[in-house]
Structure 1
Amino acid sequence: MKLQRMRIEQLRQFRKPFVLDNLQPGLNLIHGPNESGKSTLVRAIRAAFFERYRSTAVDDLRPWGDSAAAPTIELDFEHDNRAWRLTKSFLQRKRCDLVVGTDTYSEDDAEEKLAELLGYQYPKRGVSKAEHWGIPGLLWVEQGTGQDIEAAIEHAGDHLKSALNSMVGEVASSGGDDLIEAVRGQRDTLLTGTGKPRGDYQKLEKDRAHYELEIEQLKERVHKYQEQVDRLGKLTHDYDQAELERPWDDAQRQLEQARARYQQVERLQQQQEQEKATLAQQQQTHRLLQQNKEHLEGLSRQLEGRKAELNRAERDLTVAEAQTPAVTGRLTEAKAAYEQAEKRRKLAGLLQTRARLEQDVRRLEQQKQMLGQNLAKAREYHQQLEQARQQARENRTDSELVRKLRETGNQLNEETIRSRTIATRLSWQLDADASLTLNNEALTGQGEQQLLEESTLVIPGVGTLGITPGGEELASTRRKLKTLEESLAEQLKALGVASVAQAEERLSAFESAGRAQKHAEDLLKSVAPAGIEQLVSEQSEAESELEKARRQLEATPKPNPDEEVPVLEEAEAAFARASAALDKAESDAREHQSGLSALKQARDNAQTEWQRLADEENSPQRQQQLRQISADLTTIEKQQAELGASLERREREIREARPEFLRQDIERYQNAVNQLRQTQEQRGRELRDIKVRLEAWGAEGLEEQLNEKEAEYDQCNRRYQELHRRARALDLLLNLLTEKRQALTRRLQAPLQKHLNHYLSVLFPDASLEVDEQLRPGTFSRGTELGLITELSFGAREQMGLISRLAYADLLREAGRPTLVILDDTLVHSDSDRLEDMKRILFDAASRHQILLLTCHPEKWQDLGVPPLDIQVSKEQGA
């Protein structure tokens, strides 16, 4: 089966018609970014085959928000040398049409025809699921399911076995199967497929375990009952003694005494904190008064310092003003040197620009000439390419049909030669005037003829002889000759030729045209990689650039020949030095002016500060402040001494009282009171609980219940042992019968195992993979490693799943069943080395099957050897 074209409309994101055509019979690489529609294309193919056209459970096909949509899918494919076209619409316009050659099917007949062709079934109701998909469910891999192959094989198992049986024939009688099924039926009433009990056997096992649990629980309750009786006596003695002694009252008196002592210490600590705060406040006041006193006494020293600063500022200002003429002169000289250097640099740049433009003109003229030559060659090669294509169209021939025609012709020649060896031979030699009549044809002279069919020989004057060639082999040869002659005629008609030789000539001409087309394409790409239109565009662009360069050259003035033109590098270096010198001179001038302003400001500030201090030193308020500050300092120092002595006495009292131990005593006595009361309350509650519990257990009759349960357990255990022995015996018998059956089944597995080994040798050269009775890949071995395929890593399971699917496809192809392989974003977990091996496997399988590989990572498949098909580009072109 070869999918050639698909068209979808009003389906999910494809609201407008989208066409995917020119699909190759082998490998097809279809790529696009996420949400570009790859999975939608796969869903469309699945819906076209799997979903009933009248189904109401396919709302996922509807474009979002479009309740009036009618999702439509149209597929063109080829199978068994016949063209098939399927058109199916859902929801608002339910319809299914199938055209096979000249035959037409509609509605349910069309769907059943497709299901019979591909090997799947439709659901009775609702959406199609994996259990209905059969062979396509095995070969069409959805995104992220490449490693999950067991369920797909199970759903396609009947179709695979049917294909194997058609190849190797039935290898086992049904009698053995009936016996196995009978034993399995009896075993399955007692055991599950994994050997677990079921039915009555399972119920007895559960009842047996339930009895054991109940007996154990009853024994435990009897034991606890005895323990509770002992516990009741001890608790009663402890409770009565505690009520008599009341130890919690002593602990409560000690707690009250500790609290009273601690409250006294707390009052002392509060008084201590208050006096500490008062002392800190007095110390802060003392520091402020001392600072004010030092400030007032230090005014004379500050006045002398300010006078010295004023004299120094006036001297610095005088020196700076004397340097102003020299700084201005250096700035004027630097500006003149800069203007001269700039003029010479512009002159050198003009000369270099003209030289560059002249060089560009020469380069563009050469480029224009080269492009013109390439354009002429490209047009010549393009003409050769069109001639090759025309020859290929005129002689297009299917090599497979020619091969089949050649085989039919050879078979016809062989059968003709063979018929001559076994036909009845009639020879004659007659007188000159004598003649015979064979099948109404006159015979004269001498000759020979081979007879394959019943004939009549008339002898004049004698009568008529009937000749009947004998033997079943001759009749079979005659029928085979007729069949081969009719087949040869049909094949010649299909190819439109008169003979095998003419077909060979057309095929040779077609292949020769293909080689010529490839050669012409290579020559065309060598001179026009991007096409002739691009080459014409490049030539026009080169002409435009050449004209532009010529205009710029004409617009650039020539330097005066008498004027000395410096070298550009030297002129730029001289300009840079002059620019740097000018920047230095300007910077020096700015710094000098800024320094001069700063010195003037400093002189003015020093003058102001000196005058302020002089006025303050001579004021009468300063003397009064000094006398008042001295008196306040004496008073505060006396108060500080008195507070210090009081704090020391109280600190000693607090330390001797040990407040931290008093807090611990309060906590300890409180905990003791609570613990003693809680312990007594807990004894009371436990006494009440034990009394109630013992009364309840005594009323239940625990020992009588234990005896009854043990008797019921014995009866259940005897019946369980009977079914246990029967289940083991049936399981053993079934295993023996199955082993005999498996020996016959291995003949059925051999063709599939051959294809698996073919692919496995590429991926794991020294490994083997066995197929179980249900045709599922099971045990995997490599060297000393042995395990199940499900125990491999995720990436390895994905790879094994793919090669298994390709092996099933080869098997189906040998059995004459249609195959189509669809891989949606598969092998994403393969490392680079394994991915390279899988590419070899896919390329090999594509020689036998059509493969649609959809991916969002085209860069990983660029060495696959097939042209990629970009969905996004196709959508934009269709729009």
Structure 2
Amino acid sequence: MKLQRMRIEQLRQFRKPFVLDNLQPGLNLIHGPNESGKSTLVRAIRAAFFERYRSTAVDDLRPWGDSAAAPTVELDFEHEGRSWHLTKSFLQRKRCDLKVGTDTYSEDDAEEKLAELLGYQYPKRGASKAEHWGIPGLLWVEQGTGQDIEQAIEHAGDHLKSALNSMVGEVASSGGDDLIETVRSQRDTLLTGTGKPRGDYLKLEKDRAQSELEIEELKERVHKYQEQVDRLGKLAQDYDQAEAERPWEDAQRQLEEARVRYQQVERLEQQQNQEKATLSQLQQNHRLLQQNKEHLEGLSRQLEGRKAELDRAERDLATAEAQTPMIAGRLSEARTAYEQAEKQRKLAGLLQTRQRLEQDVRRLEQQKQVLTQNLAKARDYHQQLEQARQQARDNRIDPAAVKNLKTTANQLNEETIRSRTIATRLSWQLEASASLTLNNEQLAGQGEQQLLEESTLVIPGVGTLGITPGGEELASTRRKLKTLEDSFAEQLKTLGVASVEQSEDRLSAFESAGRAQKHAEDLLKSVAPAGIEQLVSEQSEAESELAKAKSQLQATPEPDQKENVPALEEAEAAFVQAGTALDKAESDEREHQAKRSALKQARDNAKTEWQRLADEEKSPERQQQLQQITTDLANLEKQQAELQASLERREREIREARPDFLMQDIERYQNAVNQLRQTQENRGRELRDIKVRLEAWGAEGLEEQLNEKEAEYDQCNRRYQELHRRAQALDLLLNLLTEKRQALTRRLQAPLQKHLNHYLSVLFPEASLEVDEQLRPGTFSRGSELGQITELSFGAREQMGLISRLAYADLLREAGRPTLVILDDTLVHSDSDRLEDMKRILFDAASRHQILLFTCHPEKWQDLGVPPVDIQASKEQGA
């Protein structure tokens, strides 16, 4: 396929016709700066092939701001020696025409012919997308998408395989695929995709496993039955032997002996505790007697200390008594100053109160005057408002109805004029004595009348003429005129007016009253926002407050002008200062009195304590107490020594009896008695349980159940083995067929692999690129490097994407399919060395395919050896 010429008009920035012709069959370099229209030309080619001519999802083709545009694309190309001419218009002028040699196609037929030629499809609705583009989507590279090839190959996969099938022959047959699908379908009834059982096969496997489990359970129960029989004999023998020997009675006797020995030790411990308590009491009495002795011996030292305390208390009391007159004088001065400050504060407050009342009287008089004026204005505005409301009520009319009435009147007028132009016109000019009768109406003199309906004209002395206006249009006009007349009369009646002019006058008066009402309401709200009643209430309240303020002013005495009255703030500050000074003086006086009382009390207490000690020191009883305490201390020390010796003897007796071992013996013998009795009870209980269990199992017929279950298992296992062998056979057959299909697929891949290697050897010598079953480039290897193409750098992936597309183009060309390669600003991420290799590849591919290379960097491609096409210059020449 060789594109020769394209013409676009009213498409994006190309509002005027633009022609790109003289396109070469090989490499074409088309350049221009950004926004010069390169991508628009590519979009126009895509729209010409991919978009339905009747699509409403191509607004992006419309020139900016031109809603009436009809984007148009014309393409001339050659394929297999025949000339093709395509014209497609969108939006405002939807059209598609295709001429192939002498054959012509239009609309949907033309579009289907193009899709069949290039190998793509149209969307059922909406804009065309990548999944519809097929082969062109693979070979036409949009700006910035050169590295993304996987999706394009997937969308073109069916067309590529079709081309390969036509080349390798037998692989094109679908019989192998049908057989594989049949085998896979039969296998899928028995196995999942991962080889797990399903359906009847899975059910048999579960039933087989369940039967095996039940057989094992029955075998286990039979085995347990036999074990229980053996256990029953052993238990009966042990039970009878224990009943004869009764070992728990010997353990009980040993338990009682150990308890007696432990009770003896407990009695010794009780005696020891009593003696310890007695010893503790003696030690406490000894400490008290020793303290009393030390107290009596230290009485003289205490007497000297008390004397010193008494002297110090008397000196402190004398010092406090000397400060009393000074503190009392300061208190008296502070009280006098406080009373004077309080008097000044009251006078200042009285003066300020009179000044405030005088201000209130002036303010209230002014407020009363303003309220009186506002009340008068409000009543005037209220009267204006009522007059406007009455005028609105008198002239109320529906503006929409007036508008409809005017519309109807205009329509009636237009229809009347129209009826006059098409009605039958009757004119007459009679002699003075002659007359005619038209529809029972006397006609005389001269005149003219238009007839829309069938009429009767009576000519005296001649006869009667029947006049029938002709034409369907006249009848329709007559009916429409009658309808409009009835509607106009009904609207006049509804509005209560005689004419359109009267309704307009009423509407004008109604609207004027509305404006006057709004103006009066605004004026009323400006002086009485809450209403006239609220304004009257505020006036009455202001008069009441004014009378009250005047009464209070008269009742407030005026201070003597001779007195020097300070300001209230100054008087308040002085009063607060005087109060603080008075509080300080009173606090000092209270503290002084409390201190005097405390010092006097301390002096009296010291004197009383000193006198008591002095009397006690001279008492004869003190000497007698000292002698008695000494005797008691000696007796207590002797008793303590005797108790200490007794405690040591009893401690040895308890230690030698080993009470901890005795307690362990009691626990051990008690456990032995309980264990021996419990063991015998357990034997008896187990004997009874085994007998009951054996009777129940014997009644169930366990061996008969086992035989029946084994028979069911054999039958289920045979059916399972049949399905198992079938599943394995189908799985093996499917694998063999799949391997055979893969071998055939490799035959499909061989032609494509050949073309890929051709280009790859230029870009990456000694490298290889494998193609997967879906004909997508996958594993890339170079020397010791191995990886996926998606793991390469962005620039390398862009280069690999381009050579892959050129290989697909070669493949399609060998299969006789049309090819056209379009590259929009591709290879922009290639370094200089790689770009040089890619130029060699493009020049080589251009010998087999037509390539349209669009770029905004012509300087990078000036060594391609082809004449460049400057879009900007072409646009200027066309202008």
Please report the TM-score for the alignment, with normalisation by the length of structure 2.
0.49
Please report the TM-score for the alignment, with normalisation by the length of structure 1.
0.49
- Higher Cα Rg, which structure: 2
